[in-house]
Amino acid sequence: MISVKKVDNRPLNWLERIYLPEIARGLAVTLRHFFVNLFNPKGMPTVQYPEQQLELPHAAKTRTRHRLKLRADNSPKCVACFMCQTACPAYCIRIEAAEYPDNAVEKYPAVFDIDLARCVMCGMCVEACPEDAIAMDTLEIPGGEQDRARLKLTKEDLLRNLPGEPSVVGAANRLANEYLKSKGGA
């Protein structure tokens, strides 16, 4: 059943057809905004973005700048599986894998770049990650740079834990941690 909305398109009356009173009414609205904002610029809702930022709600749906999580021993959780790079619709992730000299189980990312100029903040990389290694919960909004090169995040920019979070969650992590511990720590 299609819902139908009846629109009351009554013909314009004489005053409306000569436009001028209606134009005056429209001008009154815009001029009120103009003068109120001219004499009270502080009343405008604009946030001067890079210098001034709003407090963001810490909700699970809020996708903000990426980070790479660390294990308890400060090694990256990322195993360079290329899942996020494959899932990324904007092709903004570049990973180069390398092997631990003493670890035959997993690799680590020698290079992990995210080009924020191309990132569309879709969160696919977070969904794709089997290791829960990448997250978008830093509550920082990227952008507002004078130089394009400064929007490119490297592994060093990305690797960090949030306060109070040396993460050890996940089966693979536990396995890796145990393996590393059996080798005498790294």
Partner 1 sequence: MTEFYAANSDLILFAGAAAFKTLVFLNGVMGFTALLTLAERKVSALMQDRIGPNRASLFGLALNGLFHPVADGIKMVMKEDFVPGRAEKLLFTLAPFFALVPVLALFSVIPFGDYVMVFGYQLDLQIADVPLGLFLVLALSGLAIYGVFLGGWSAKNNFALLGALRGAAQMISYEVVLGLTLVGLLMIFGSASLQDIVRAQGRLLFGWLPAWGVVYQPFAFILFLVAAVAENKRTPFDLVEGESEIIGYFMEYSSMRFAAFMFSEFVEIILISMLASTLFFGGWQVPYLYESGFILPGGKALALNHYLVALLQVGAFSAKTVFFSWFLLVVRWTLPRFRFDQLMGLCWKRLLPLALLNILVTGAVMLALGKV
Interface stretch with partner 1, choices 21-29, 96-104, 127-135, 177-185 (CB under 8 A): 21-29
- 69/76 Cα distance (integer angstroms): 6
Minimum CB separation of residue 10 from partner 1 in Å reads: 18
Main-chain dihedrals φ then ψ at residue 27, nearest 5 degrees: -60, -35
Residue 131 · residue 172 · CB < 8 Å: yes
Looking at residue 50, what DSSP letter applies? Answer: T
Q: What are phi and psi of 95, to 5 degrees?
A: -120, 135
> With binding defined as CB under 8 A, does residue 20 bind partner 1?
yes
Instruction: Give, as ranges, the residues between 32 and 71 that touch partner 1 (CB under 8 A).
Output: 33-34, 37-38, 41, 44-46
Instruction: Report how many helices (DSSP H) and strands (DSSP E) the chain contains, helices first.
Output: 6, 5
Q: Residues binding partner 1: what is the number (CB under 8 A)?
A: 15
Task: Please tell me whether residue 13 binds partner 1 under the rule CB under 8 A.
Answer: no
Q: Using CB under 8 A, pick the residue from 27, 162, 169, 175 that binds partner 1.
A: 27
Please report whether residue 175 would count as binding partner 1 according to CB under 8 A. Answer: no
Half-sphere exposure (Cβ direction) of 121: Cα atoms closer than 13 Å: 13
By the criterion CB under 8 A, which residues form the site for partner 1?
20, 23, 26-27, 29-31, 33-34, 37-38, 41, 44-46
